[in-house]
Amino acid sequence: MFTNIGLTNHALRAYDEKWKYVWATIGKKLTNQIVLDVQQRYPDNINKYLSLIKTFLGQRTCDCVNLIKSYLWWNKEKDDPVYDIKYDKVNGVWMSADGAFQVAKEKGNINTIPEIKGVCVYYKGHIGVYIGNGEVIEARGTKYGVVKTKLKDRAWTHWLKYPDIVYLEDDNMFNDIQGHYAEKYIKAIEKTGLMVGDGKGKFNPDSLITRGQLAVVLAKLLHLPIEE
């Protein structure tokens, strides 16, 4: 299950890791081949920043809407996004920023934005992720990368609940911890992004942690790079 809390944590990861912005990239570490591919498809968007883009080699890059879609495409075992048209085209509409706004079933003017983490903010041609407390994480542009901005300081016109994401307004992404003796502790660690459950809405609080899972938690805690 993809949730607003998961999206928020994913956006925070991109911000903490200082992802860069390259048009049409999806969160993978940038290679010369990726640059060549997007340059051939979108020369007008790439060539004017080509010298700067080449300094991003080896770093994760995305554009504004692919910051969001990379969460939907993320393969936990590979710790990398794996492209799937399923989340790139919804109901026959390509999921650009404008396409996502078109398809979204719940949306409104920015002055009515609910205080829900993971709600997306939008103006024509651009989209970001609201993380609460008046702050947004957005892949802003080639010269900026993934940045944290104040909601009030940007020209957002609308908010929307992104297609394929379940919005849990109580900030609890797990449906198997209610009444458990460790519920409040699990909720606390959930907000840090250190442990994200099985990705299907379950934390499995009585299961033993594996050595591999513990290694991932420690790597996140110590801000260590996780190799593929």
Q: Evaluate if pTM is beyond 0.85.
A: no
CB atoms under 10 Å from CB of 157, counted, come to: 13
pLDDT of residue 170: 58
The crossing angle, in degrees rounded to 10, of helices 64-73 and 4-16 is: 120
Per-residue pLDDT of 119-165, as tens digits, reads: 999 999 999 999 999 999 999 999 999 999 999 999 999 999 999 99
The residues of the chain scoring below 50 in pLDDT are 228
**What pLDDT, on a 0 to 100 scale, did the predictor assign at position 226?**
57
Give the pLDDT confidence score for residue 228 in this predicted structure: 42
Tokens of 122: 């939008």
With CA atoms as reference, report the closest residue to 19 among 82, 61, 64, 81. 61
SS (H, E, C) 31-88: CHHHHHHHHHHCHHHHHHHHHHHHHHCCCEEECHHHHHHHHHHEECCCCEECCCHHHC
Q: pLDDT at position 84, please?
A: 94
What are the Cα distances from residue 174, in Å, to 7, 9, 181, 212? 14, 14, 14, 21
